[in-house]
Amino acid sequence: MLIPALAIAAAAQEPPQEQAPSREVVVYGEILLEQARQALVEELREEGYTRVIEKEGRVIYRHESSYRGDVVIYDDGWTYVKRQPVNAVAREMPWAEEGSPLAVAGCVVYPWLCIRAGGVSYGQRKWRARETRTVDAVAEESRVFAERTADLAVDRTVDELPARLEALWNEGRPLDEGPPLDTTEERKAALMAYWASRTDTQWGHEVQDAIEAFVRAVVQHSDTPFSESELAAFQADRPRGW
């Protein structure tokens, strides 16, 4: 995915390439992420994690058997298995349904019927074995969910990046926080620094591809393109190349 310096220099003689419909990619990424989340949730339900507790930035799936723990799904793609805390449940009473106001009142009168010790009383060795079984049961679905979350985050970054790169190149507006970049040299340096700061992963490479496409289509057709010597100096400092 990384192109050599001479390829960018030669691209100055080529017409700008039409960019892919990135908005459609984002929508498709949202669909894939939702499918991955549903697959993970369905697997958790099959494992018995049927009680759902929604929190800011995460959803907790709780098993009816306290020793089985909780599975927490974070919005940023992480899945985490943990012990259940001590908690109170308004259990079904002879005179009330579970969770009803009468059941809650029963907890006030008979608190020992509603307190659940959770997983805190479960031995460390037994808990680790239980934790491992739960992790193994949802490992594949968790992996796919994490990858789809990362995919969508990158899709959105790439979707927004052309406008941000245009603002950098034409107006000197930095990609990150900082003062305006007044000179062409500063703007070129900012492009290279942002490219170099991406991670050496498939997601980092996608962002780098978008930056390279902008350089080929816009910078190299401007009055101040990257020279071969500028690209060579950059490539010498970074073995992965531009």
Give the pLDDT of residue 103: 67
Residues 175 and 110 in one domain: no
DSSP 142-175: HHHHHHHHHHHHHHHHHHHHHHHHHHHHHH---S
Give dist(CA 98, CA 119) in Å, integer.
22
Residue 90 confidence (pLDDT) above 80? no
Query: What amino acid is encoded at 30 in this protein?
Result: E
Residue 27 banded pLDDT, cuts 50, 70, 90: confident
The answer, yes or no, to whether residue 95 has pLDDT greater than 80, is: no
Q: What is the predicted pLDDT for the residue at 7? A: 41
- Residues 219, 169, single domain; the answer is yes
Residue 18 lies in a domain: yes
Phi-psi map region of 92: left, alpha, beta (phi>0 left; psi -120 to 50 alpha): beta
128 lies in a domain? yes
Shared-domain flag, residues 118 and 72: yes
Tell me whether residue 125 is exposed, middle or buried, using C-beta atoms within 10 angstroms of its C-beta: 0 to 12, 13 to 18, 19 or more. Answer: exposed
Assigned token pair, 114: 């509603």
Structure tokens at 7: 């390829």
- Considering the domain architecture, whether residues 138 and 155 belong to the same structural domain is answered as no
- For the chain, the average pLDDT equals 82
- Model pLDDT for residues 44-68, shown as the tens digit of each residue: 999 999 999 999 999 999 998 888 9
Contact (Cβ atoms closer than 8 angstroms) between residue 92 and residue 82? no
Does a structural domain hold residue 49? yes
* 57: in domain: yes
| Domain assignment present for 242 | no
- Which of 37-46, 81-90, 120-129, 136-145 bottoms out in mean pLDDT, i.e. has the lowest? 81-90
Q: E strand or H helix at 40, and its extent?
A: helix 22-46
> Cβ(220)–Cβ(172) under 8 Å?
no
Q: How far apart are CA 179 and CA 204, in angstroms?
A: 25
Query: Is residue 202 in a domain?
Result: yes
- Do residues 242 and 235 touch, judged by C-beta distance below 8 A? yes
Q: Is 165 in the same domain as 137?
A: no
CA distance 193 to 207: 13
Among 94, 118, 142, where does a domain finish? 142
Residue 214 structure tokens: 């902008």
pLDDT at 87: 62
Structural domain contains residue 222 = yes
On the question of pLDDT at 109 being above 90, the answer is no
**Higher-pLDDT residue of 161, 123:** 161
Of 18-22, 72-76, 155-159, 203-207, the range with the highest mean pLDDT is 72-76
- The residue out of 98, 121, 142 marking a domain boundary is 142
Residue 160 and residue 228 in one domain: yes
Residue 123 lies in a domain: yes
CA 209 distance to own-chain centroid: 19
Q: Residue 8, Cα to own-chain centre: how many angstroms?
A: 31
**Do residues 80 and 119 share a domain?**
yes
Same domain, 122 and 170: no
Same domain flag for 25 and 53: no
Quick one: 102 and 66 in the same domain?
yes
In the chain, how many domains are there? 2
CA dist 153 and 33 (Å) reads 10
| Residue of 109 and 29 predicted with greater confidence | 29
Percent of the chain having pLDDT more than 70?
A: 74
Can you give the residue range of the structural domain that contains 207?
5-29+145-237
Q: Which of 142, 164, 197 is the last residue of a domain?
A: 142
For residue range 187-238, list pLDDT tens digits in order.
999 999 999 898 888 888 889 989 999 999 999 999 999 998 888 877 776 6
Same domain? For 138 and 181 the reply is no
